[in-house]
């Protein structure tokens, strides 16, 4: 065989091999360009970054065929309107928290976190093995949405307060920025809840428009500068024991996606759920120490506040389950699992963690 013939033959074989080796997605799937609006500012790299990572994983898995452009809160849609815009069809998808929309229907809150609900591990178990994703999507469909967990913060802090909270009496008339369903519960104790987007909280706290504010935890809260205007940092955020972020997609657009793309979206979202919490668990300890060095005063909520809040939550749930069948169906599923979940963790995580924390207090770690 002469040299030119060999090159032609080898070139053809190489091209054929490359075609066979290329991902099937890249060969047969359509090219799509979607927009995703976030409920979060770019400065919050962990929580906003969850949307970036969803888009990145999908782009890479499709060899660039499925492109998703992410927009920060306010760029094309106000942060707290993200899911509304998706349901209306003006944007294909969003990265948000389901509980931001509880004012439309309290059932939305169950997708993210509710007071005295589940911790993050339990949330994952309930969502992925307890059928909660399907239950939530049955509800989301009534709002022209399809949703999947896409990030978890873990248990959150209880927020920043200008003045100390020593008893339930100190909550009377307190203007408190808090997200989701927790405000409805806290209002029974005299709190005046305010729902304000993340990027607007500092200014409201600085000006005295609000008396206290909660966001997520040390890493994000430090970035937002709350410690500069409200020195008292309370814990735990009993209304968010394991708060989910969500990717929400317009239902009609979701149904147009090829099955392979649908599978990739689900996979990317589940991967990001683990990724976001892993990052928070890594960066929060150092941020906590920096906040302490800056003069932050850390306080657990007083026992009477916790007990009164738990009682108020159960009263709200009783009213809600009696009047809202969609809420009742999903809430009953959650509480049916909750008792068993906390029973199990008493034997494992709780006893292990308690022992290790004891060693830390003795400075053995």
In a domain, 189, yes or no: no
Give the pair of three-digit tokens for residue 353.
Answer: 């963690």
In a domain, 187, yes or no: no
Q: What is the pLDDT of residues 187-222, one digit of tens each?
A: 999 999 998 877 789 999 999 999 999 999 999 999
In a domain, 236, yes or no: no
C-alpha dihedral sign at 232, 236, 241, 242: positive
In a domain, 4, yes or no: no
Number of domains the chain is built from: 1
296 in Cβ contact with 231 (< 8 Å): yes
- pLDDT value of position 200: 86
34 in Cβ contact with 68 (< 8 Å): yes
Is 23 a residue whose pLDDT tops 80? Answer: no
Q: How many angstroms separate the CA atoms of 290 and 219, rounded?
A: 10
Q: What is the pLDDT of residues 233-242, one digit of tens each?
A: 999 999 999 9
Give the pair of three-digit tokens for residue 251.
Answer: 């239902």
> With pLDDT > 90 as the criterion, what percentage of the chain qualifies?
89
Name 248's bridge partners: 94, 147
Task: Tell me 22's DSSP state.
Answer: S
Is 35 a residue whose pLDDT tops 50? Answer: yes
Task: Tell me 105's DSSP state.
Answer: -
CATH of the domain at 38: 3.40.190.170
Is 24 a residue whose pLDDT tops 90? Answer: no
Task: Tell me 234's DSSP state.
Answer: E
- pLDDT value of position 208: 92
In a domain, 98, yes or no: yes
pTM of the predicted protein model: 0.89
At residue 16 the predicted structure's pLDDT band, cuts being 50, 70 and 90, is very low
In a domain, 184, yes or no: no
How many of the other CB atoms lie within 10 Å of CB of 76?
Answer: 16
Instruction: List, edge to edge, every strand of the sheet that includes 212-213.
Output: 192-194, 175-177, 212-213, 159-161, 232-235, 297-300
How many of the other CB atoms lie within 10 Å of CB of 230?
Answer: 21
Q: What average pLDDT does range 123-130 have in this prediction?
A: 98
Residue range of the domain that includes 144 = 11-152+242-282
Q: How many angstroms separate the CA atoms of 17 and 258, rounded?
A: 26
Q: What average pLDDT does range 116-131 have in this prediction?
A: 97
Residue 138 CB partners (closer than 8 Å, separation 6+): none
In a domain, 198, yes or no: no
The 3-state DSSP composition of the chain as helix, strand, coil percent (nearest 5) reads 60, 15, 30
In a domain, 88, yes or no: yes
Is 115 a residue whose pLDDT tops 70? Answer: yes
Q: What is the pLDDT of residues 175-193, one digit of tens each?
A: 999 877 899 999 999 999 9
Burial 301-312 (b: 16+ CB within 10 A, else e): bbeebbebbeeb
């Amino acid at each position: 065989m002469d040299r030119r013939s060999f090159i032609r033959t080898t070139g053809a074989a190489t091209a054929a091999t490359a075609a066979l080796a290329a991902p099937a997605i890249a060969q047969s799937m359509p090219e799509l360009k979607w927009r995703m609006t976030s409920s979060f500012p770019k400065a919050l790299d962990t929580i906003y970054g969850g949307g970036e990572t969803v888009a990145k994983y999908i782009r890479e898995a499709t060899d660039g065929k499925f492109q998703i452009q992410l927009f920060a809160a306010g760029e094309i849609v106000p942060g707290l309107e993200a899911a509304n815009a998706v349901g209306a069809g003006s944007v294909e998808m969003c990265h948000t928290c389901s509980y931001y929309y509880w004012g439309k229907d309290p059932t939305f809150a169950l997708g993210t976190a509710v007071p005295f609900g589940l911790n993050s591990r339990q949330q994952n178990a309930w969502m992925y093995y307890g059928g909660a994703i399907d239950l939530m999507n049955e509800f989301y469909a009534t709002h022209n949405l399809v949703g999947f967990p896409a990030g978890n913060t873990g248990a959150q802090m209880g927020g920043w307060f200008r003045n100390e909270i020593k008893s339930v009496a100190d909550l009377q008339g307190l203007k408190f920025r808090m997200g989701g369903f927790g405000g409805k519960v806290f209002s029974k104790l005299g709190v005046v809840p305010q729902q304000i987007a993340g990027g607007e909280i500092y200014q409201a706290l600085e000006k005295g428009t609000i008396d206290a504010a909660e966001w997520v935890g040390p890493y994000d809260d430090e970035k937002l500068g709350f410690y500069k205007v409200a020195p008292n940092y309370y814990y735990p955020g009993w209304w968010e024991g394991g708060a989910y972020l969500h990717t929400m997609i317009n239902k009609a657009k979701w149904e147009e996606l090829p099955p392979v793309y649908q599978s990739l979206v689900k996979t990317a979202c589940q991967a990001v759920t683990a990724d976001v919490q892993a990052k928070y668990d890594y960066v929060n300890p150092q941020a906590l120490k920096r906040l302490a060095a800056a003069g932050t005063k850390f306080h657990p909520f007083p026992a009477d506040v916790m007990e009164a809040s738990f009682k108020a939550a159960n009263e709200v749930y009783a009213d809600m389950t009696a009047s809202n069948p969609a809420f009742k169906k999903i809430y009953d599923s959650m509480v049916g699992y909750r008792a068993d979940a906390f029973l199990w963790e008493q034997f494992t995580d709780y006893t292990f963690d308690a022992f290790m924390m004891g060693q830390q207090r003795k400075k053995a770690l």
